[in-house]
Every structure is written in C-alpha cells, then in structure tokens.
Structure 1
C-alpha cells in the first residue's frame, strides 16, 4: 500500500487508457483513476461518456474523465481539419458528455450534437476534467469543468495565470472554482543521469507541440521548439520539469501546492523510458515515502 490515492494516465496510442484501467480492475487492482487527458478527436462525446462510466463501474471508484482537443495537427489527421474554434468545440464536447452522465441529452452544436441518453446505471462519482495550459482554456474550465488538469505548467504560471483565470470563469458562471490537478514530470537526480536527459525522455513530443511551446514561452521558459537538449534543460531551469535530490524535489513540489494545486500527480515517464519499470517503481516509492514520512516496501 502507498499513500497515493489515485492513478492517472494520459492519452496513449499504444495501449488505450480506458482498457488499461479496466484490465487492472479485472485483475483485482481497483482504485480511483483519472484521465489527464484523453483527446477529443478519438471519440464522440457519447463514446467518451460511455467509456468513463464503464471504468467507474469496473473499478467501483470515482473517475476524473479529463478531455482536451489535442494539437491542431492531430485534429487535422483524424478529422480532416482542425476545430476552427478550440474553445467552442471543447465547450460543446463537455456539454454532451456531462449531459449523458446525468440523463437525457438534446443538444445541437456547431461541432457536436446528440439526442438521447445512456442506459440508466448507478455508478461511483464521475468528474469532468479539462486539460488546461493557457488562460482561455482555464476560463472555460472555470465555467464548465470539475477539475482543471495541467501538464508542464511551472508553478508561477499556475499561480499567476491559470488559477486566476479559473476563478474568473467560475465567477462568471456562478459556480465554485474547479479543483486543480497538476501533473508534474519528475525525476530524482542520480550520478548516472542528467536532468535534461530525463526531461527530454519525458516530454519529447510536447516540446514539438505549438500549444505547449506557446504556453512555456509565456511562462518564461526559454524553449525553441526544436526538441533539443537545450529545450529540455530549459524545462528544468524553468520549473516545468522537477529534478533534484529528495529534499529539493519535495520543496519544488510544495511550490505547486502553494500556487493552487489541490492534487499533485507524479509523472515518472522519463525515468521509465530511460531506466525501466523497476527503477521507476523504486523511485516512486522513495518520493511517496518522503512525502509522508513512511518507508514503503
């Protein structure tokens, strides 16, 4: 057992994340889960609601169904062209998903439409999450989401830009501000590895994506978009990728909490890609143990 309370997974194209969690539940590993995030072009809102509800029923635990539009190039590859308005597409998508999780839907939008309902069922709580990088999506998340999910956002950007925009959106909609779940890529400093190598192994795709490059530059992180070791080093220097010894990592994780994160999700993709699953598990145990003062086996 560990003090972690939920397992999160982002979009994957090797093994589909809903199926991964369903498989784990069938093998006896049942726990709260979060999707941070699945990409809208891959599934209609009806399928998205059905998949999220199925995972909740399989696991018997709450689910955060997080969504995002993905890069425009990804949208074009699947849909023939990108959404002309990203925010409108996301708003419509979430409207249909939330409606289906609650009952009957009769919605006709510019990008997504549906009339009907899912078969009635009693399930654990399902929350709607939105992937949030910049202020526009943060304001929308404040209006329509239960959870704002961030990735690669330095603490200062989270506290100075994302959280105020979430608060603005929530106030405009007359609702409480969504919870903030910050997905933080992290690796402990070791003699046989460098932080930049770990950061590049963790975030190679993100360093080529225009929306991430734009967010990082606005946050003061000096990336070039050329997916180089220098860009990876900039992630570390700018606080988007957390590295250091145990004490330094814990201090930097606290910065996300102080910036407004309600939940911090430890992501060790770089360690996994370079050092493998056993070292990743051991490193995660070290981090969780240090966070709670427990020695984990």
Structure 2
C-alpha cells in the first residue's frame, strides 16, 4: 500500500518554521516529514530541533549532497537523528551536479557511479559497526563508530537514470525520484532496481517519488508556479536527459516551456483535490511505495501557512 508523506515546502531560515509541518505529520496520516538539501539550516539539525520541542516524527532527506559530508559524518548524523527522534530515518544521498562537486572538491567525480557505490558502502558499514577501510580515488579512511542503540536508518539514493538505479539496487534501501514520471519509474527505474538487488542477493529498494502539487485557485497559473521551483532543474543536464528519455521534450535553454511541459505531463499536478489525487494514483499504480507531497511552489509564492493548509487538504484526499 502506498503511503503519503510531506516535503517541507520552503527553505527555512529559522528552526521554528519546521514546527507546523512536524505537527501536521504527527496529527495526520502523513507517514514522514522530508526536506531536501538546505544551505540555510542543516537538515539533520532542523529535525533534531523539532524533536527537542516534542514533535518527534519520522524524517527523510531527499537528498543531502555527498560533497558536503564525509561518510563517517553522514553515518553519525543519520543514526543520531534516528536516536533523537525515536523513529526510523531515511538518509538520502546524491552526488550533486558536476559543477557542485568541482566547487567543493576541486574536481568533479570522474565516475559518479563509483563514488556513490563507495560512499553508500562506507556509510552502511559504519552503521553496522564495521571497521571500514578504503584507499580509493574518492574516499580514504580506516574508521569505525562505537555502536549505540537507535531506530533503523534506511539508506536512500537519488535516482534519475538507469545506471544509477542499478547501483541503487546494489547498495541502497530506498530509491528517491524527483520529477520522475510514473510510467518511467515503472518501466525503466524499477527493473534496474530489481536487477541491481538480485545481482548481490539483497532486497529491492523501496521506491519513493517526490511530486509537485498545487491546488487550483483564482488567478493561479500552474505553469508560472511550476517555473518558480523547477526552472533550475529544467536547465540541469541530469534532469533534462531523464525527462527527454521519459518522453517529456524539455529544452534546457527554455525553462518556461519546460514548465509548461511538466504541467501537461502531470509532473506538476494542479487542480482540485480530487484531480490531484487521481494524478497521484498513477504513482501508486506504477509501484511507488511512498509519495512525497511537494507543495514548494505554493510555499514560495503564497507562504508557509497557505502551503500547510493545502498539504492537509491533499492528505485528506489521498489517505483514509
């Protein structure tokens, strides 16, 4: 059965801004509170703040970027958050764009797939209490972590293309899609996840899809809303290549037209609650285990309070 979760729909600049959304997850059928990579407030600390004032909810990161943290730090932060919240954590990671890697590391990963495989293997080993020894081109360490009890940490990986999905099947517990069409997830990503998992005799990762949503309203233009939060993705090669492969003919030089195509393809769902629920049902039919409601266009354009109300309305429309 597909569950529905909530993405924090804005970039927080004060920790107390997370409070209404953690409370929403706590009082509704929302399965988890997610956040993407933030450079204003560190995501793990944001969730820890919420837990510290009594709002302890399952947390997920979609995704934190590998160049920002060493695998030892990643494992330590993830398990600390699980212990602080008292709930399982989905610790999602991704290599980030090549320009981001170069800006932080001095050079882009020659092979992002190898970097991801090594990173995830190191974090998993550290969480399991192993002595992790690496002397490769990306990570060098001889380290372990003292073992402490904590709720489970699921390792997630941002997945857009088939080769990364195959690696995800080998090393991760959760595959996280962003702007990924449901039929593409079912026909391209899911088979690669299964093949990667079968190759190393491990369970196939759960499939999570982060989906843009916005209710219809007077003078609301869904294309303008889509452009407000997707323009950067619509100019990034790894997103545009994925979308074109999935049959959504976006042009990185024209993000406004790309936003229109997202709306037409149902990747930015807008309308009445029932219509959005019908669009989200396509992800459940495609085998997605967890749909994350991303109301960031509303949060950015109309504010946190409006986004909170819309998310609650949509949760009521899609959950018993």
> What per-residue deviation string (whole Å, max 9, x for no partner) do you get for residues 172-222 of structure 1?
111221100111111112222111111112222211211011111111112
How big is each residue's C-alpha offset from its partner over 1:110-161, in whole Å with a ceiling of 9 and x where there is no partner? 2112212112210010011000001000011111110001100011111111
The gaps in structure 1 that reach 5 residues or longer are none
Out of 177, 184, 206, the residue aligned to residue 150 of structure 1 is 177
Aligned to 2:162: 135
Higher relative contact order (CA 8 A, sep 6+): 2
Give the Cα separation in 2 of the matches to 1:62 and 1:7.
Answer: 11
Aligned pairs for 1:14-93 within 5 A: 14-93=40-119
Question: Residue 150 of structure 2 aligns with which residue?
Answer: 123
What's the TM-score once normalised by structure 2's chain length? 0.89
1:43 offset after TM fit, Å?
0.7
Runs of 5+ consecutive residues of structure 2 not aligned to the other structure: 1-26
Taking structure 1 as the reference length, the TM-score comes to 0.96
CA distance in 2, matches of 1:244, 1:156: 21
Using the alignment, how far apart are the partners of 1:19 and 1:227 within structure 2?
37
Give yes or no for contact 2:71–2:123 (8 Å, CA) kept in 1: yes
CA distance in 1, matches of 2:315, 2:295: 12
Comparing 168-177 with 74-83, which one deviates more in the overlay?
Answer: 168-177
Tell me what 1:100 maps to.
126
SS in 2 for 1:260: coil
Q: CA deviation at 1:263?
A: 0.5
2:14 corresponding residue in structure 1: none
Count of residue correspondences: 293
Select which of 200, 222, 227 maps to 1:200. Answer: 227
Counterpart CA distance in 2 for 1:119 and 1:60 is 19
| Superposed displacement of residue 227, structure 1 | 5.1
Root mean square deviation, CA, Å: 1.1
- Cα deviation per residue 1:198-251 (whole Å; 9 max; x = unaligned)? 111222221121101111111111211135321111111122222222111111
- 2:113–2:164 Cα contact (<8 Å) kept: yes
